[in-house]
Copies of this chain bind each other. A is one copy, B any other.
Amino acid sequence: MYYAFFTQMKKQLGQLGKWLEAAEAEAKAKSFDPNAFLGFRLAPDQFAFARQVQATCDTAKLAASRLTGKDAPKQDDTEQTLDDLRARVRSVIAYLDGFSAKDFEGAATRVVTQPRWEGKVMNGADYFLEHAVPNFFFHLTTAYAILRHNGVGVGKRDYLGGLTLRAP
């Protein structure tokens, strides 16, 4: 199920790439600088749009790395344009493409930590459920909300992407 979840995260990252295109189109239609979106936020003390996109990408990337023990490429959060953010999203999708279901065997019992936990650890199952998944969707949805609030014409279908519907 871990691998299936990362496949879903890849799909959502693909949708995020499309929202970035919609933001660009909105800016062109209204004749403002598309890269202004990078600094938009919903509250003065909230991360701006660029940081929300970076955090979405990093949450997926670091979760895959921590649950498999494979190194993740370091990325420097230097994006200045919507194009840069699209490249960041693509790079994480490409990173996730490198995993197979087999890589996630034993993920549930891996020991995961990060500096802000001050020496404490979580097991992989708890980390994934309590931290990685909620954080991924938090930053993804906040990025979406910032675009919606600023007039970008995206809707729920653009959030979910296509569903695996079939005849009964």
A: residues with CB less than 8 A from B are 1, 4-5, 8, 11-12, 42-43, 46, 111, 113, 117, 119-123, 125-126, 129-131, 133-135, 137-138, 141-142, 144-145, 148-149, 151, 156, 159-161, 163-168
Contact = CB atoms under 8 A, between A and B. Distances in A.
Contact of A163 (B5, B43, B122): B122
Contacts of A113: 168
22 contacts: A5-B129, A42-B42, A42-B148, A43-B148, A111-B168, A117-B163, A120-B167, A120-B168, A121-B167, A121-B168, A122-B163, A122-B164, A126-B164, A133-B137, A134-B159, A134-B160, A137-B137, A138-B141, A138-B159, A141-B141, A141-B142, A142-B145
A154 to B, nearest CB: 10
Contacts of A131: 160, 163
A88 to B, nearest CB: 21
Most chain B CB atoms below 10 A, which of A133, A156, A160, A164: A164
B130 A164 contact: yes
Contacts of A125: 4
Nearest to A15: B134
A8 B134 contact: yes
A145 B117 CA distance: 25
Given A137-B137, A168-B113, A160 B43 contact: no
A8 B130 contact: yes
Contacts of A126: 163-164
